[in-house]
Amino acid sequence: MVKPFGKTTFTVDVRKSIDDVVHRQSPGRPRTTSRALDRNILRACRKDPRRTSKDIQVSVTSPNEPVPSRRTIRRRLQVAGLHGLVSLKNRKARVEWAKQHLSWEPREYAPQYHCRTVKHGGGSVMVWGCFSDTSMGPLKRIVGTMDRYVYEYILENTMRPWARANLGRSWVFLQDNDPKHTLGHVANWFRRRRVDLLEWPSQSPDLNPIEHMWEELERRLNRVRAFNANQKFAQLEAAWKSIPMTVVKTLLDSMPRRCQVVIDAKGYPTKY
């Protein structure tokens, strides 16, 4: 099998809530849904990805909770990276991508990057992390908004040095279609640095095993309390470095199954 550009694959993803929607403190009006209801909304979608917002609305409604609007449900799914029904165009693209990569070797999907917001007692900590099929990469704390300029700074000063030190000069970068990733400002960086990009289908968090890596990180921090953002980041960094490579191997080994499930589902969201 020929690898794209004859190089090691470098896969990328963007922010996503894992099992819970991040509740951010806001000066605006209070949220209309509780954490428990948000979890039920996500679980309903994961149980049957083809459910509409109306179906989910009916399934999660209870006497003890206000009835969430369909717009609220769609918003919660979007924040969690579960975009509900995938458009016909994207379903076709997902199936085509899955067919093209069905026979890839697990290591061709590594390493990966993900930007993630992690809740702590007094606010939230946003982190960026990467890993390869041979080692866990750095975990970088992000202060402020993750915009295209911050993204480029991370690419230049964290991702690229780490990739060159661990992967040599031959690697391919994969990112999803988040606007900050595709705008000209960032696209110019890839051209200047001659970094090859691997195509990624839209609305496809279920094809990216790094989502489960964040779940692994959260499991390792379950019931570990932090009293401030600095302590929370220290805990995150230590837990990230402690993740064994057997976890990475298991995630990468799942890629052929993920591709097959997407093909079988005709491009609709899957259990992953």
- Copy the structure tokens of residue 144: 């402020």
Q: Which one is predicted more confidently, 247 or 135? A: 247
Predicted confidence at residue 188, as pLDDT, reads: 92
CA 123 to chain centroid: 21
Q: Tell me, what amino acid is at 160?
A: R
**Does residue 192 register a pLDDT over 80?**
yes
**Does residue 129 register a pLDDT over 50?**
yes
Q: Which residues of 97-118 are buried (b: 16+ CB within 10 A; e: fewer)?
A: bbeebeebebbbbbbbbbbbbb
Its pTM stands at: 0.65
Query: Which region among 24-33, 137-146, 177-186, 260-269 has the lowest average model confidence (pLDDT)?
Result: 24-33
**Does residue 17 register a pLDDT over 60?**
no
Return the HEC string of the chain. CCCHHHCEEEEECCCCCCCCCCCCCCCCCCCCCCHHHHHHHHHHHHHCCCCCHHHHHHHHCCCCCCCCCHHHHHHHHHHCCCCCCCCHHHHHHHHHHHHHHCCCCHHHHCCEEEEEEEEECCEEEEEEEEECCCCEEEEEEECCCCCHHHHHHHHHHHHHHHHHHHHCCCEEEECCCCHHHHCHHHHHHHHHCCCEEECCCCCCHHHCCHHHHHHHHHHHCCCCCCCCHHHHHHHHHHHHHHCCHHHHHHHHHCHHHHHHHHHHCCCCCCCC
**Does residue 161 register a pLDDT over 70?**
yes
Average pLDDT on 171-178 reads 74
Average pLDDT on 209-221 reads 80
Sign of the torsion formed by the C-alpha atoms of 38, 41, 46 and 49 = negative
Contact 217, 240 (CB under 8 A): yes
Average pLDDT on 167-196 reads 80
**Does residue 8 register a pLDDT over 60?**
no
Q: Which of 10-14, 72-76, 104-108 has the highest mean pLDDT?
A: 72-76
- The strand order across the sheet containing 123-131 reads 136-142, 123-131, 112-120, 8-12, 171-174, 196-198
Mean pLDDT of the chain: 75
**Does residue 162 register a pLDDT over 80?**
yes
**Does residue 184 register a pLDDT over 90?**
no
**Does residue 82 register a pLDDT over 80?**
no
**Does residue 56 register a pLDDT over 90?**
no
Average pLDDT on 129-134 reads 79
**Does residue 116 register a pLDDT over 70?**
no
Residue 130 CB contacts under 8 Å (≥ 6 apart), including other chains: 111, 112, 113, 114, 137, 138, 158, 159, 162, 163
Contact 35, 20 (CB under 8 A): yes
Predicted confidence at residue 153, as pLDDT, reads: 92
Predicted confidence at residue 240, as pLDDT, reads: 92
Average pLDDT on 210-230 reads 82
Predicted confidence at residue 103, as pLDDT, reads: 83
Residue 170 CB contacts under 8 Å (≥ 6 apart), including other chains: 6, 7, 8
Predicted confidence at residue 136, as pLDDT, reads: 85
Average pLDDT on 125-154 reads 85
